[in-house]
Structure 1
Amino acid sequence: MKSIILSSFALIFSWCCSAQDYSCSPENREAVASKIEEIRGIRESSAGEQLITIGKAFLGTPYVAKTLEGNPSETLVIDLQGLDCTTFVENVLAFGLIRREGDLTFDAFLRALEKVRYREGILQGYSSRLHYFTEWLDDNEEKELVMNITSRLGGIEVPKELHFMSRHRDLYPALSKENTYEDMIQIEKKISKNPICVLPLDTLAENENMLESGDIIALATSIEGLDVTHTGFAIRMPDNRIHLLHASATGKVEISELPLVDYLKKIRNNTGIIVARPVF
């Protein structure tokens, strides 16, 4: 009897500890369940087309910045009520993963989102989150979730020192902790050793036909210390042009009215794009 009680206590304790690792309101838990039901009937065969179908299910969702910041400690934040460009891409990928694996449960979604969002798929504090897109891309390529095809499309390698977060420490509350700040400096030094491959706008215009719906598009920037300012999904529209399905800072998840090439011409400090193709 004593062993049964101890086993039961251990199970309850394990669940409680696990629950502390993520942050999800009842409304967001319902939203996850609702999205899971929506994706059950997806019939598209390619990963890209599946992701577009999932992404379009978020059309109209309000844009909310910094939903992952400001917590006392790093947790796996589940928030489908408001999305920024990064959380939109990550959530869509996570739903795509559980759709592929056939495990359409809340716990499977948690595991998938952690896998996409954190270095080596493991949440170990603030600095384990993949804050810079170029590291996010490299890490998720190692996990065999995406493939960087920028070079294949005509991209060129450019050296760039990444230090935006450490030099704008006041913008990131978690960096007020000295050990976290030092961790971020070391991460920036490490990822700055690799050049960034960027597809210039003129080359994109020539090779737009090589892009596929579902490709992840990241907007490279000339801003000092920063690699990317925005991200979303390529989507081929009835005009046979590639547009951008994204959480727009202008207010909501939407499809760009302009084709991607023309959209980029209006983005200040843009130097081209980085392209990742889902391969799961």
Structure 2
Amino acid sequence: MKEALAGLVKYRALLGPLALVGIVIVAALWSPFEPHRPPVAVAPGDEMTVTAASAWAEEDWTVFESKVRWAFEQRLDTLPLGAAMAEIGRSLVGSAYVPGTLEVEGPERLVINFQGLDCVTFVENVWALSSFVRTIGGAFGADATQTLANRPLTEDRYESLLRSVRYRAGTIDGYSSRLHYFSDWIGENDRRGLLRDISRELGGTRDTEPVDFMTAHTDSYRQLADPSFVVLVRQTEQRLSEAGRYYVPEDRIEEVAGRIRNGDIIAATSTVPGLDIAHTGLALWVDDTLHLLHAPLVGEAVQISEVSLADRIKRISGQDGIMVGRPLAAPELER
């Protein structure tokens, strides 16, 4: 089992940073439901250089273009950000689950991939797509043809949005600038006004368990062969450990479900030592029941949970609660 876990860890570099969580959980704490991705980082890179290196495959542009046209037809640009995210997320149901798409060779760069999503890249791309549609919709009056006419400009705008939510301060500065630990992802984007961490508002409990999964498993991360990255990641881990975080325990999710909205970002907390989050997705109400819209390892495609969010968390031994982030229409992204 130990060797199997080691292999899985190497396969699934942290959810971006944390996508790994799902894999570890499936292997170590198997359940008919799923797991998550562990934390990640890269080599320093000039933002302009990184942007230029972020080439789009034609297949990715085709998916992006079709989603933007559909979103404008549905007038999703007129909805609150969370509501738009729920609809765009639903439109991706059936999309393939593919792990490790951010772990490319060479210096850290922005990866655009709509052909395969994991639990974190699903959330990030849905957020960026929804923000793009609402921003551009206001600028061009929901005219998809005009919006997409200038492909280089459109690609650049989307890359800027995706980069803003995936990297610390929205800037790529090496592997460690990527928000590998999802509680850090929530905290950083809360500080920048892109979302609001409502875990404490929901009556959450403070979690003071240390976060050190990446530096405790350096052999599982190619980039951590560089000692300088280990130092930077450890600094992040120490900060997260000292600050702690709030989460809603699994036995209280049903109690607070009515205060969770469509499109809220859900992060399932992990019982794996050193790991903060095991899985991520979006809140989705179906027939008066709160479900999880997500890209799970088990199932191999974006899907809506068959059972309620509360029941799903209870059925997975490697998960014990949730953090909740509410997407915000940040002023700097609406210009």
Same fold (TM over 0.5): yes
Which residue of structure 1 lines up, in the alignment, with residue 295 of structure 2? 247
Which residue of structure 2 lines up, in the alignment, with residue 168 of structure 1? 217
* In structure 2, C-alpha distance between the alignment counterparts of 1:94 and 1:171, rounded to whole Å: 29
RMSD: 1.8
Correspondence list, 1:201-216, <5 A: 201-216=250-265
Is 1:144 matched with 2:193? yes
Is 1:219 matched with 2:268? yes
Range moving further from structure 2, 216-225 or 201-210 = 201-210
* In structure 2, C-alpha distance between the alignment counterparts of 1:55 and 1:72, rounded to whole Å: 31
* In structure 1, C-alpha distance between the alignment counterparts of 2:294 and 2:308, rounded to whole Å: 13
Which residue of structure 1 lines up, in the alignment, with residue 124 of structure 2? 90
2:115 is paired with a residue whose SS is coil
Report the AA paired with residue 242 of structure 1: L
Task: Provide closer, same or farther for how the CA distance between residues 186 and 23 of structure 1 changes in structure 2, counting only shifts above 3 A.
Answer: farther
Range moving further from structure 2, 64-73 or 37-46 = 37-46
Compute the TM-score of the two structures, normalised by the length of structure 1.
0.90
* In structure 1, C-alpha distance between the alignment counterparts of 2:239 and 2:255, rounded to whole Å: 34
Measured against aligned partners, the alpha-carbon deviations of 1:241-276 in whole angstroms (never above 9, x if no partner) come to 100000011210000010111111111221210001
- Contact 1:61 1:83 (C-alpha < 8 Å) held by counterparts: yes
Is 1:35 matched with 2:35? no
* In structure 2, C-alpha distance between the alignment counterparts of 1:118 and 1:19, rounded to whole Å: 13
Which residue of structure 2 lines up, in the alignment, with residue 7 of structure 1? none
- Contact 1:160 1:196 (C-alpha < 8 Å) held by counterparts: no
Which residue of structure 1 lines up, in the alignment, with residue 4 of structure 2? none
Is 1:193 matched with 2:193? no
* In structure 2, C-alpha distance between the alignment counterparts of 1:235 and 1:163, rounded to whole Å: 31
* In structure 2, C-alpha distance between the alignment counterparts of 1:17 and 1:121, rounded to whole Å: 15
Compute the TM-score of the two structures, normalised by the length of structure 2.
0.76
Which residue of structure 2 lines up, in the alignment, with residue 79 of structure 1? 113
Moved over 4 A (4+): none
* In structure 2, C-alpha distance between the alignment counterparts of 1:52 and 1:69, rounded to whole Å: 27
- Contact 1:166 1:185 (C-alpha < 8 Å) held by counterparts: yes
State the Cα distance separating 1:216 from its structure 2 match: 0.6
Counterpart pick for 1:121 among 170, 182, 197:
170
- Contact 1:58 1:253 (C-alpha < 8 Å) held by counterparts: yes
Measured against aligned partners, the alpha-carbon deviations of 1:204-259 in whole angstroms (never above 9, x if no partner) come to 12121111111111000121111001000010002x01000000112100000101
Bigger Cα Rg: 1
Which residue of structure 2 lines up, in the alignment, with residue 67 of structure 1? 101
Measured against aligned partners, the alpha-carbon deviations of 1:11-31 in whole angstroms (never above 9, x if no partner) come to xxx9x9455442432322332
Correspondence list, 1:252-267, <5 A: 252-267=301-316
* In structure 2, C-alpha distance between the alignment counterparts of 1:188 and 1:108, rounded to whole Å: 31
- Contact 2:81 2:131 (C-alpha < 8 Å) held by counterparts: no
2:257 is paired with a residue whose SS is helix
* In structure 1, C-alpha distance between the alignment counterparts of 2:312 and 2:227, rounded to whole Å: 40
1:233 is paired with a residue whose SS is strand
Report the AA paired with residue 87 of structure 2: T
